[in-house]
Structure 1
Amino acid sequence: MGNTFCFFCGCVAQSSVGVVEQWGRFHRLAQPGFHFFNPLAGECLSGILSTRISSLDVRIETKTKDNVFVQLLCSIQYRVIKENADDAFYELQNPQEQIQAYVFDVTRAIVPRMNLDELFEQKGEVAKAVLEELEKVMGEYGYSIEHILMVDIIPDPAVRKAMNEINAAQRMQLASEYKGEAEKVLLVKKAEAEAEAKYLGGVGVARQRQAITDGLRENILNFSHKVEGTNAKEVMDLIMITQYFDTIKDLGNSSKNTTVFIPHGPGHVRDIGEQIRNGLMEAASAQVNVEE
């Protein structure tokens, strides 16, 4: 409902307060409700003020300590104090302009002492300083400052673009470092795996040769004991010839080989047998030295 009044009576709406004058001088405050006025005594309802919370958005352009121009969007929420409504009615003609002027003054005194990063981090401190100043000043005029919100901080577009590029470059540098560390770990693990594989391969080859040597030794001994009149050299030659022809047979049966050139002759077989015997003798000698 709105405020209605006539020459003899008037109605003040809820969340409002009326200002009653007598012969042009402030007489009293009219609370919400229906009121009678005595025009013969010079009473009249001069005006009505709303006691609801009002909001005023102020845009301030200023400069930071590192010479960056920014725009601050500040939202001020204020209201008329019921008990001091006469001060609000008579003292200020345009309270919005008064509030805006003090916001400009306080903000432009604080922000130039901060860097841009500090301004983003401490925007609450700026709002607190503006609130303290406005409460002290506007309270004398019958206004209460309820809240001040620093809604937005808008740097110059060129500055925002540069800040984004700096952030992107830092992230790319960090990503490159992580990628390099990952590649380093991969190469180290690969080298360790190759070294381990070569070591195990060497162990396997050594065990394979040891097993072949032990098998040949057992075959020679068994054959020498079971067949009388034979010695170890003859048995070794027989085994070598058998192995030699088995190898040739395997090469011929392999589907991956078309033509294989190998030296062939009794002398070649004899040379192989001598090499194996020398290996057996060296292995036996090394085992004896270890046992001693």
Structure 2
Amino acid sequence: MDPLTIVLLLLLTIIVIYIIARGIIVIRPWEVGIYIRLGKFVGILRPGVHWVPPFISVVHHMDLRTQVVDVPRQDVITRDNSPVSVDAIVYFRVVDPRKAFFEVTDYRAAIIALAQTTLRSVIGDMELDEILYNRAALNAKLRKILDEATDKWGVRVETVEIREVEPSPRVKKAMEEQTSAERERRAAILRADGEKRAAILKAEGEKTAQILRAEGERMAKILRAEGERLATILRAQGEAQRLRILSLGAASLHSHALTAMSLETLKAMADGKATKIIVPFEVSRLVEALSAYIGKGVREPQIPQVDLEKLVKLIGEPEKILGKIPSYEELSVEVKKAIEEAKKRKPTPTELSREEKELLETLKKEEKT
């Protein structure tokens, strides 16, 4: 074979191999290819190995994964005229490669520009407090607006996140002062609430103490009244016994004895540091009796002694008249028994005094309020 022919065949083989290799297109799993031949859209190349006629065909690779773009920081004036500096992050993915390629020149740059203008308009319609404390609602609103706008580009906006909202220095200083004032207000409320609770507990303690004191005073009055009643009964019994004894003993007294008793009575009345002038009702009879007793100047009529047996027959036996005189032990037992019964007895509400009833009604009204 002619050497020239061999060279031509070898050159032709190299050209064919080059043409075949030039037409091989590899589409990776996360992307698709936009196939254009002679300026006309032919179709979408899916992941895998494809061959297209070289020199007359163009394949543009398009990523289908979720992409992230950073919206540059910008200054925005809120509805309440508060300047803030804000930036955001947009997460999106291509869902229709044909629209993303033919409907917009550069969908990434278009999304960034659209996010900037949308962010400015949305924040301009909100107040600063709403932006700071309602970040989730702001993100949802931005995502909805961007998704509706990019739907004609074949792009779906998945998430929009406001990364940072920074108010101006003057606004930040005012916010710090507001926060400090709010904390001071809460502290004052907590202190007032504590004082209120302390006052309530103190009032309840005073109420309980007053009830206990009133109960104690009532029981003490009951016990004193019971003791005075028993003492009065015992004094009356003793006085009755004394009078009975005097009535029996006076039957056998002589006139001299009566005179001596009168002198003893005068002596007892004159005892003391105060000056006293005693004028008996029967002065002449007393002087006469004294002179007769001391000087024997006047002869007194002799009173015969009383016969005790005749006296007993006349008025009865002394034990029946005087009755049984209780001993000290019997009186002590009776007093102790009365005191124990007074302690055990629980007084009913009807036994309360008017002041105690008013006190209880006042305490009940305070508990209701």
- TM bracket (short chain): 0.5 to 0.7
Are the counterparts in 2 of residues 68 and 159 from structure 1 also a CA contact under 8 Å? no
Gaps of 5+ in 2: 1-19, 248-270, 273-369
Whole-angstrom distance in 1 between the partners of 2:52 and 2:24? 5
- Written as runs of structure 1 = structure 2, the 5 A alignment for 1:156-235 is 156=168, 157-224=172-239, 228-229=244-245
- Aligned partner (choices 147, 157, 164) of residue 159 of structure 2: 147
Q: Could you say what secondary structure the match of 1:38 adopts?
A: coil
Q: Could you say what secondary structure the match of 2:245 adopts?
A: coil
Letter in 2 for 1:145: V
Whole-angstrom distance in 2 between the partners of 1:114 and 1:144? 25
**1:111 is the counterpart of 2:123:** yes
Whole-angstrom distance in 2 between the partners of 1:20 and 1:199? 104
Are the counterparts in 1 of residues 36 and 42 from structure 2 also a CA contact under 8 Å? yes
- Aligned partner (choices 63, 72, 83) of residue 69 of structure 1: 83
1:15-64 deviation digits (Å, cap 9, x = unpaired): 21112232455443211111011126x1243x211111112343454232
Whole-angstrom distance in 1 between the partners of 2:109 and 2:185? 45
**1:51 is the counterpart of 2:51:** no
Whole-angstrom distance in 2 between the partners of 1:100 and 1:127? 15
Whole-angstrom distance in 2 between the partners of 1:38 and 1:48? 17
Are the counterparts in 1 of residues 122 and 142 from structure 2 also a CA contact under 8 Å? no
Which 10-residue stretch deviates more, 91-100 or 104-113?
91-100
Whole-angstrom distance in 2 between the partners of 1:57 and 1:75? 5
Deviation at 1:80, TM superposition (A): 1.2
Deviation at 1:206, TM superposition (A): 1.4
Q: Could you say what secondary structure the match of 2:194 adopts?
A: helix
Are the counterparts in 2 of residues 106 and 129 from structure 1 also a CA contact under 8 Å? no
Are the counterparts in 2 of residues 66 and 116 from structure 1 also a CA contact under 8 Å? yes
Are the counterparts in 1 of residues 25 and 49 from structure 2 also a CA contact under 8 Å? yes
Whole-angstrom distance in 2 between the partners of 1:181 and 1:6? 90
**1:97 is the counterpart of 2:112:** no
1:76-102 deviation digits (Å, cap 9, x = unpaired): 2211123xx244235545433322222
Q: Which residue of 2 aligns with 1:285?
A: none
Are the counterparts in 2 of residues 11 and 32 from structure 1 also a CA contact under 8 Å? yes
Whole-angstrom distance in 1 between the partners of 2:25 and 2:236? 136
Q: Could you say what secondary structure the match of 1:172 adopts?
A: helix
Which 10-residue stretch deviates more, 152-161 or 204-213?
152-161
Whole-angstrom distance in 2 between the partners of 1:230 and 1:193? 56
Q: Could you say what secondary structure the match of 1:39 adopts?
A: coil
Which TM-score applies when normalising by structure 1?
0.64
Equivalences, count: 226
Gaps of 5+ in 1: 232-265, 268-292
1:227-255 deviation digits (Å, cap 9, x = unpaired): 65269xxxxxxxxxxxxxxxxxxxxxxxx
Q: Could you say what secondary structure the match of 1:55 adopts?
A: strand
Are the counterparts in 2 of residues 102 and 134 from structure 1 also a CA contact under 8 Å? yes
Residues 151 and 163 (structure 1), Cα distance of their counterparts in 2 relative to 1, 3 Å cut: farther
Q: Which residue of 2 aligns with 1:17?
A: 32
Whole-angstrom distance in 2 between the partners of 1:111 and 1:128? 13
Deviation at 1:168, TM superposition (A): 0.7
Letter in 2 for 1:229: I
Q: Could you say what secondary structure the match of 1:146 adopts?
A: strand
Whole-angstrom distance in 2 between the partners of 1:152 and 1:215? 92
Letter in 2 for 1:162: E
Whole-angstrom distance in 1 between the partners of 2:106 and 2:58? 23
Whole-angstrom distance in 1 between the partners of 2:102 and 2:114? 20
Whole-angstrom distance in 2 between the partners of 1:151 and 1:167? 27
Letter in 1 for 2:44: L
Are the counterparts in 2 of residues 107 and 126 from structure 1 also a CA contact under 8 Å? no
Residues 64 and 169 (structure 1), Cα distance of their counterparts in 2 relative to 1, 3 Å cut: farther
**Structure of higher CA gyration radius:** 2
Q: Which residue of 2 aligns with 1:130?
A: 142
Higher normalized strand content (fraction of residues):
1
Q: Which residue of 2 aligns with 1:234?
A: none
Residues 114 and 230 (structure 1), Cα distance of their counterparts in 2 relative to 1, 3 Å cut: farther
Whole-angstrom distance in 2 between the partners of 1:56 and 1:223? 116
